[in-house]
Structure 1
Amino acid sequence: MKIKIIFRITTVMLVFFFIQNSFGQVTKIDTLNEVVIRSNSLVTKAVAKAFTTDFKNAISPRWYKMDQNYLVKFMTVEQRNNALYNKKGNLIYHIGYLVNTVSMPNDIRGFVNEKYPDGKILTAIHVNQYTRSIWVVNLKVGAHLVLARIEEEQVEEIQRVTDISL
C-alpha cells in the first residue's frame, strides 16, 4: 500500500513537472512596421524632359523618389546607369557601370595603360557630378588587384591587395 501511494505521488509530480515545463517556453513574436517602396513614382515634367534630353538612348527607365529628388535606373547599350535629378530637372549626378570594358574611352584606357602597362581592366565605373568626371577602375596587375581613380588625366591608386585566388 505504501508503495502504491509513493508511486501515485511520484506519477502526479512527474505529470505536473512536464505540464509546467511545457508552458515554460514562451514564444515571443515581434512584428515590424510595414515598409512601402514605390518603384513607379510620377516625375515632374521638367525632370522627364531633362532625362529624355540627357539620355536619348535609355532603355527601360525605372523611377524612384528620394526625398525631394528623383532617381532613375536604366540601361544603355553598353552600361547600367543611375542618375539623380532634383525636382527642377537639374542632373545632380550620373553613374555608369560599364558592362563591357572594351567600350571604355580610349583616352581613359591610355591613362590606365600608361601607369599599369601589364594591368588588365576588370571593371570600370564612370561618375559625372556637375563639372567633375571621375573613373573608378578595378585592375589585375600581376598577383595584385588594384583600385584606381582617374580624374583630370591623373591616375591615382586607391587600394592594392594581393589576389589570393591564384
Structure 2
Amino acid sequence: MKKSLFAPISLALVLTGFFHTTFAQEDTMKMMEPIVIYAKSNVNKAVTDAFEKRFKDAMDPQWYRMNKNYLVTFITGDMKNNALFKKNGRMVYHIRFGKENNLPEEIKTQVMSAYPDYNITRAVNVKMDNRDLWVVNLEGLKKWIIVRVEEGQLDEVENYNKAG
C-alpha cells in the first residue's frame, strides 16, 4: 500500500524545487517516471462538482487532462495545490506545496527536534488513500535533507551534500 504513494510523492519532491544543480555528484542517477500532462481540458460536471464541494476556497483553478483523469492546479491561502480526479469525481490524491509556516505545529516540532541545526525550506502535504503525510525539505550548512512524517513516524528519505 505504501508504494502506491510513490508517484505523488515523487511529483511533490520534483515540484518543490529541491533538486538544485548545486548538489554533489553521485555515482548513480535516479530517474523518475515522466508524468505527461496534456493540454488544458474541459471537465465534466461530476468532477467539477466534486472539486467545488471539497475545495470551496480554491482560487484560479487550471484543469488538465492526464490520461483518463483530470489534474487541477489551484491556490488555497498561501499554498499551491494539485489534485487528481477520476472522471466519476473521485479524488485520487491532493498535494499541497508550502513552507515552514504551513506545517502543523506538532510536525514542525518533531522535525526541528530531530534536526535542530537545519532550516525548513519546503513542506509538502500528500493526501491519498486515507493517508496524510508531510514531506519536508531541510537545509543545513553542509547538507540538504528530505524527511517524511506520517502518523507520528519521522523517516529520513534522502540527504545530499552541498557542493563546495
Q: Give me the TM-score of the superposition, normalised by structure 2.
A: 0.72
* 2:33 counterpart residue number: none
1:43 aligned to 2:76?
A: no
Q: Which one-letter code corresponds to 1:108 in the other structure?
A: I
Q: Give me the TM-score of the superposition, normalised by structure 1.
A: 0.71
* 2:14 counterpart residue number: none
Conservation of the 8 A alpha-carbon contact between 1:81 and 1:97: yes
Instruction: Give the Å deviation of 1:84.
Output: 0.3
Seen in structure 2, the aligned counterparts of structure 1 residues 46 and 110 have a Cα distance that, compared at 3 Å, is: same
1:53 aligned to 2:53?
A: yes
Structure 2 residue matching 1:42: 3-state secondary structure: coil
Q: Which one-letter code corresponds to 1:122 in the other structure?
A: T
Structure 2 distance, partners of 1:149, 1:51, is 27
* 1:137 counterpart residue number: 136
* 1:118 counterpart residue number: 117
Conservation of the 8 A alpha-carbon contact between 1:111 and 1:154: no
RMSD: 1.4
Structure 2 distance, partners of 1:48, 1:158, is 35
Higher relative contact order (CA 8 A, sep 6+): 2
Instruction: Give the Å deviation of 1:143.
Output: 2.0
Instruction: Give the Å deviation of 1:142.
Output: 3.9
Q: What's the CA shift string for 1:78-127, capped at 9, x where partnerless?
A: 211110000111110011111x4212211211221121122210111111
Q: Percent identity?
A: 39
**Structure 1 residue runs of 4+, over 3 Å off?**
none
Aligned length: 127
* 2:100 counterpart residue number: 101
Q: What's the CA shift string for 1:25-55, capped at 9, x where partnerless?
A: xxxxxxxxxxxx531x221211111101111
Structure 1 distance, partners of 2:118, 2:66, is 38
Instruction: Give the Å deviation of 1:67.
Output: 2.1
Structure 1 distance, partners of 2:103, 2:129, is 21
Structure 2 distance, partners of 1:61, 1:164, is 38
Where in structure 1 are there 5+ consecutive unaligned residues? 1-36
Where in structure 2 are there 5+ consecutive unaligned residues? 1-37
Q: Based on CA coordinates, which of the two structures has the bigger radius of gyration?
A: 1
1:90 aligned to 2:93?
A: no
Instruction: Give the Å deviation of 1:141.
Output: 3.1
